[in-house]
Chains A and B, each alone.
Chain A
Amino acid sequence: MALLKNGRLIQDRWTTVDTLTDALKPGGVLVPLDLWLAERDTLRGKSAVGVILPNDADPDLLADDDDRIAAIVLTFPSMVDGRAFSQARLIRERFGFDGEIRARGPVIADQYLYLLRCGVDAVEVPDDTNVESWLRNARRFSTVYQPAADDRVPAYRRRHLVAASAIAS
């Protein structure tokens, strides 16, 4: 798998591990939530650690650790199981997490805009992914109708900003 991040396909430098022993080896590791909760004091010293959050877990479990975690992996068991969209927004908007939020699972290019808008900034994709297809979808819509975790201004505010600035100029 490769990682789609910041508009580019990059090599994923993180390793997913299941045990504490593996987690303490050098390099960036992604650990299951249970392991993190059981061993957080040991793992806290490690600079490059990410946590894999099941999509039915409460993101609150990570609220106090967000400065110790470099990445949070959200899971999509299928492309139509959308629970992680809510998790992403809570992590980004409510906790103000500024590390990597990555999507893991069979999501497709047509969902990229929604992922980005909810605060996901990295997606695990097959190595032969057509990046252009993903980027095209991310750029497709010039208007959004609702606020989300990105900085796009929803139409119901933008309309009046435009009007106000037109009057000012």
Chain B
Amino acid sequence: MYVYDELDRGLVNERVEEFRDQVSRRISGELTEEQFRPLRLMNGLYLQLHAYMLRVAVPYGVLSSTQMRKLARIARVYDRGYGHFTTRQNIQFNWPKLEETPDILAELAEVEMHAIQTSGNCIRNTTADQFAGAAADELEDPRIWCEIIRQWSTFHPEFTFLPRKFKIAVTGAVSDRAAIKVHDIGIVLVQGADGEVGFEIWAGGGLGRTPMIAKKIREFLLAADLLSYLEAMLRVYNRFGRRDNKYKARIKILVHEIGADAYRDAVEAEWADIRDGALALPAQEISRIRKAFTPPAFEVLDAVSTAFEARKFEDRGFARWVASNVRRHKVAGYAIANISLKPAGGIPGDATAEQMDAVAEYADRWSFGEVRVAHEQNLVLPHVRQDDLYDLWLALGSVELDAPNIGTLGDIIACPGMDYCSLATARSIPVAQQISERFADLERLHDIGSISLNISGCINACGHHHVGNIGILGVDKKGEEFYQITLGGQADENAAIGRIIGPGFASDAIVDAIETIIETYLSVRQDGESFIATLNRLGQTPFKEALYGTA
């Protein structure tokens, strides 16, 4: 993991003092709410329906056990004993008091954490593949580049008051688990002609009111040019992005309106002027950061653990958990263990302080002290010996973190919705809870297999409904909650925007509608065919007929 040096540490401490000063100037009235608002947002502090909400950055989803324990402590001392992991790999606390937030930041700074730029119209937390450094299909660890971007984007003097928020994602693997094509900028690590690592650059993806898949802007960029190219991309956006309408202010609209070619030309022209300047990354710095992500001291193990295989044979529950929650690791004898934060009937992404402490302990015992946050709102222990998986599973069961449903219908992404959010037009959490309860039977859940279901409580699409295989969007229709269903969305390397299947459903009919879709899939699928493959083969017709009858 990256460890702060004195420069990083100094900056984060200075930030705490800055925010303390801002809060006291707000309380004294020196700052108006209008002036304070962008400042607090840039520090992740929202005013929600019932209270302030503090969003803490988890840079590219990586946490040490020490940091996880600190989050547990904050949940316990300053909140109501729980936190909510988000689709941006961050964590939100729902009940902090304004005057206590500087103290929370001071505690976070002790463990090299902060809330910098977790909101506001600036460059947000850069996200990455949650399996970074562990995935078998990885070219290089994307966290190296995320950390470089994190630093460059922190307090960037030119790009802190952009037209709108700005999100960057990086993946180093063949399978895109970071959803880079629905980001403002998506970066894929690729190998150049001479074998060196460089980047393929995408721009203009995004969800929200106008979902769009990113366009490829550059085939190959040298590593040393990363920051100068990003700076050129952001400068063009800052100068020419629309500011007349906040719903048209994201970079996707600019790229769409002027076209990817014109955007690329503008970026390349800008880049030509700054490429050889101070933004060129020194090789020593790249190697310093790369060193921070040196793999942990893995043992040399057999590729297949007989003890592990025997356990799976003996214990069906364990075998089921392994089938859905464990992924292949790049090192023989190790595995990636996903921890589902989606128990049947639970709130997606929520974890109690006790659960956070437990995960920290398991990370220390079995995963080199490392934890990851996945954008699907789950946790990951990235480096577990296959031999330890059984003990881990038992331990997870003792704190109700053993739901065997990663990548299944139980693994629902949902925004906080109208239960917390002041923008929402409908509730999301109760819908997620009802669906996961309806499909709680594990035999059935595993029979349905791989599928994604995402729920947003308003058109802003924080629940990523456009890219769920099944998407649900809650809308308000004359004071009643209605839920619109889209089918066919994908967030991976085959990213696609789902299409609306027909009229929406009332809140008491939405779960039945989902069940109808699932039953239709089960009746028409071919052997081993996933939901999305069946849908892509047959189109929407059979599902439409099942939901609305034949016309």
Q: Which residue of B lies closest to A155 (CB)?
A: B7
Once the chains are docked, how many angstroms separate the CA of A11 from the CA of B25? 26
In the complex, whether B161 has a CB less than 8 A from a CB of chain A is yes
Pick from A113, A147, A163 the residue with the most CB of B within 10 Å: A147
Chain A residues in 8 Å Cβ range of B22:
110
For residue B34, give the distance in angstroms from its CB to the closest CB of chain A.
9
Contact with B along A136-148 (1 / 0, CB 8 A): 1100111111111
Is there an interface contact between B158 and A85, defined as CB atoms closer than 8 Å? yes
Q: Is B5 an interface residue (CB 8 A)?
A: yes
Looking at chain A's contact residues, the main secondary structure is: helix
Q: How far is the CA of A163 from the CA of B279 in the complex (A)?
A: 19
Query: A83 contacts B7, CB within 8 Å?
Result: no
Of B125-133, B149-157, B519-527, B540-548, the one with at least 4 CB within 8 A of chain A: B149-157
**Interface segment out of the listed B11-19, B321-329, B332-340, B471-479:** B11-19
**Nearest A-chain residue to B6, judged by Cβ:** A143
In this assembly, does A38 line the interface, its C-beta being within 8 Å of a C-beta of chain B?
Answer: no
Whether B243 sits at the interface, judged by CB under 8 Å, is yes
Point out the residues of chain A lying under 8 angstroms from B288, CB to CB: 159-160
Known: A82-B238, A145-B151. A113 touches B8 (CB 8 A): no
Contact residues in B for A87 (Cβ distance below 8 Å) = 239
Q: Kindly state the separation between the CA atoms of A157 and B231 in the bound complex, as whole angstroms.
A: 17
A14 adjacent to chain B (CB < 8 Å) = no
Task: Name the one of A133, A146, A158 contacting B7, with C-beta atoms under 8 angstroms.
Answer: A158
Closest-CB distance, A74 to chain B (whole angstroms): 12
> In the complex the two chains form, what is the Cα distance from A94 to B158 in whole Å?
15
B156 contact set on A, CB distance < 8 A:
145-146
Please count how many residues in chain B sit with their CB below 8 Å of the partner chain's CB atoms: 46
Residues in A111-137 with C-beta less than 8 Å from chain B: 111, 113-115, 117-118, 130, 133, 136-137
**Does A47 sit within 8 A of B, measured CB to CB?**
no
Complex: how many Å from CA A136 to CA B30? 15
Kindly state the separation between the CA atoms of A25 and B277 in the bound complex, as whole angstroms.
43
B157 touches A145 (CB 8 A): no
| A80 and B121 contact, CB distance less than 8 A | yes
* B14 and A140 form a contact (CB under 8 A): yes
Q: For window 1-53 of chain B, which residues contact chain A by CB distance below 8 Å?
A: 5, 7-8, 10-11, 14-15, 17-18, 21-22, 25, 30-31, 35, 38-39
> Which A residues are within 8 Å of any B CB, using their own CB?
79-83, 85-87, 89, 94, 108, 110-111, 113-115, 117-118, 130, 133, 136-137, 140-148, 154-160, 163
Q: A143-B7, A160-B284 are in contact. List 12 more A-B contacts (CB 8 A).
A: A80-B38, A83-B238, A85-B158, A85-B160, A85-B238, A118-B157, A141-B11, A142-B7, A145-B156, A147-B278, A154-B278, A155-B151
